[in-house]
Structure 1
């Protein structure tokens, strides 16, 4: 949506609200609903302000100590939300509402380096300046849908919920037809918000589905990912049901977010494949960089305690850091042919912050290109059975250790960003360590 189209819509009173939103550390949209004429008169030119604690809270919005950018010692001041008008769009599921995403800056207008959107922007700028390349990305988000509303799910303490499908509907046309009113509404209204839906299909877990969207330049894909994830939840709530993007909502299959990644020149020419259609020399460096750096960067790919419960043998979530052509047992799966050749990174779950996850892949690709890393032979059998392979971290605690001990992370992102997200992982671990789980109660209430 152009600014002029917004002016016309506001004058015609078909838009009365402009939602100005940032993406927080957890990948959620946070922001303000603005009276549309006020947005045009004031915010369009000057931005708006928000409390900088939005980049220093946990998932429950608790204020926590240990962040250099925000805290009681710093007085919890403001930062500026600067509208990126290239992201302006209508939200069909919210009457009279347009959305614009914001970049974050301090009040002197210097960028907030710890902002997820700024972290991705920085990596893309470095990729272009160092190698003259642009990243193209597609994200495939899975979710599990339940018949209960979010309020009913909360009242039930998220137990004994009813999945919208009672059996495995992976690729089932009959099974997905039961949920088509919800799936169709999400597809159509995301198209109305400027996304390009490709398909919807059932998945393995009960009530599990995936809606895929067309790939685009990396920043656009991350923006669209955030809009889709937030909007799908809002649409589900309006339909009286609920969906979850938790990486592992139950003991069955987890929710993945496979990230398809390729590179092009500034003229739009694909570079991952050679003249013979096979992986190019440049492409081998990219894959080698991802293999070398994924373990160190797991905090950005799998940011929560729950994220690591996906990584189980035989689950279609990877455990071995290997690559293979069309091999779903590997962390990196090479797919496509000729100009469409690309790597599918299978580590991220649906709880990933898209800006941070994609930034990690860009950083890893840059590393492989700069160091001209050689690619190991492809893995052609069951990578789950490869006991010699480097492993995806098994826990968030292990991932935090890999992040802290990495020689790569500070060079990729700078010490301020590295420290900031290490603290975010600490906060998550501390909260989990303090919790009394259902497992503990069942095991010990009577018998201990």
Structure 2
């Protein structure tokens, strides 16, 4: 696969940079279930002399742990009984890039395979590539963009930990939505992120303030869906690293406090593999577009686990919050879960369900699987919702992770699209989170019960 632009590295250029001493570290990384980059830092010389030909490996528990990296039960691919063996990292050389915020460092993103070279089907990148293969079989390509919001603090990650993640100092003390003054206050951090991400090959659009105190969004140009997911993972990790270098902190958690949460609106469209517009016909939406949207809506509740994977994700879904509560679509209507925008070549859907904690590979895979279900079954799109979806009688998205887990586990559509192994794997991930949360005594319980109960 050809790199998206000439800011990416070729293998030949990387070899030369290592030999000339400009690069001494190569990161080989993959995205785990939680959406985090995991992997190894290899010395440049070792990379050239050994890893380039023989690759590298990592324990298969990396796709079978909780957020704290604890080994947990219930996963069929990894356990004490199976001995916690290895997976191979297979580099995708089209993702090779410089990381200019780190000294003399390059990164390549990897797929995961077993030691017999069979793909690890539970890997998020593999799950997305499987759905993209289905799109390719229909003579189309998927284009997408993700819009990640975050809250930035003038408090380091270390101090945030010591403060119990409370009473942190945001980079803005008021709502700076679209405020130039507000973004100027945070511009040293925002500029660092923008410029380092551009150097890493991402096509940076710009930055804007958001509603919560210290909340901002940095936008990137759409790309093919796999490139967008890869870039999303790189950006999310690098933004935290850049903030940490400045003694600051960033959170992408879906709902940090009682104010506005962090969203990750995902835009998606299909094109013919010859570049032909397939979502538009003359001066109106095409039948295929309507079928695709109908499929996304039909599967929205069953696939919510892929869009909202954590306990905290569901705190966003509140009326009047700009986060959706109803399974509905509308034309340029930000109260709906699915918003249709643009026309002609720019026609696309926006999924407003995901938060900043989403795994982009899983969310895009869910949207594609749902849309393809609509196309293959020639579903009819219901009438658009006009007015506020918050006041409608439309079905609601699941209110809790437990509800979403049940819907995903029982979904025949999910099992057909992703396979029983994938469904079982991510149902178990939800079970692990639910068990951990159910066993935890929260600050809310202490405050309400310590003295007064």
Alpha-carbon deviations, 1:367-411, whole Å to 9, x = none? 01100100001111000001x211111000000111112121100
Match of 1:8 among 1, 16, 32: 16
Residue 264 of structure 1 aligns with which residue?
271
Matched ranges for 1:5-404 at <5 A: 5-129=13-137, 131-276=138-283, 278-386=284-392, 388-404=393-409
Shift of 1:99: 0.2
Aligned length: 445
Instruction: Find runs of 4+ consecutive structure 1 residues off by over 4 angstroms.
Output: none
Q: How far 1:337 moved relative to its partner?
A: 2.0
C-alpha distance in 1 between matches for 2:451 and 2:273: 66
Shift, 1:270, TM fit: 2.0
Task: Provide the residue aligned with 1:428 in structure 2.
Answer: 433
What is the CA distance between 1:127 and its match in structure 2? 1.6
Contact kept, 8 Å, 1:144 with 1:244, in 2: the verdict is yes
Aligned mates of 2:432, 2:70 — CA distance in 1: 10
Structure 1 residues without counterparts, runs of 5 or longer: none
Residues 300-321 of structure 1 show CA distances to partners (whole Å, capped at 9, x for unaligned) of 1100000000000000000001
Shift of 1:344: 0.5
| Cα-to-partner distance string for 1:312-341 (whole Å, 9 max, x where unaligned) | 000000000110110000000001121101
Cα pair 1:44 1:83 within 8 Å, conserved: no
Secondary structure of residue in 2 paired with 1:112: coil
Once the 2 structures are TM-superposed, how far is the Cα of residue 37 of structure 1 from its aligned partner?
A: 1.6
Alpha-carbon distance, 1:110 to partner? 0.5
Match of 1:443? 448
Q: Give the Cα separation in 2 of the matches to 1:273 and 1:177.
A: 40
Q: Please give the alpha-carbon distance, in whole angstroms, between the structure 2 residues aligned to 1:311 and 1:447.
A: 30
Deviation at 1:45, TM superposition (A): 2.2
CA distance in 1, matches of 2:369, 2:48: 37
Q: Supply the distance in 1 between the matched residues of 2:276 and 2:101 (Cα, whole angstroms).
A: 37
Question: What is the distance in 1 between the residues matched to 2:127 and 2:50?
Answer: 27
In 2, Cα distance between the equivalents of 1:133 and 1:289?
17
The RMSD of aligned alpha carbons is 0.7
Distance in 2, matches of 1:269 and 1:26, equals: 35
* Distance in 1 (alpha carbons) for counterparts of 2:140 and 2:307: 22
SS at match of 1:31: strand
Q: What are the Cα deviations for residues 55-88 of structure 1, in whole angstroms up to 9, with x where unaligned?
A: 0000010110010000111111101011111100
SS at match of 1:317: coil
Distance in 2 of aligned mates of 1:418 and 1:326:
33
Aligned partners of 1:84, 1:78: CA distance in 2, in Å?
19
Maintained 8 Å contact 1:46/1:82: no
What is the Cα deviation at residue 42 of structure 1? Answer: 1.8
Cα distance in 2, alignment partners of residues 281 and 426 from structure 1: 39
**TM-score (structure 1 length as normaliser):** 0.99
Distance, in Å, in 2 between the alignment partners of 1:188 and 1:142 is 18
SS in 2 for 1:408: helix
Secondary structure at 1:376 match in 2? coil
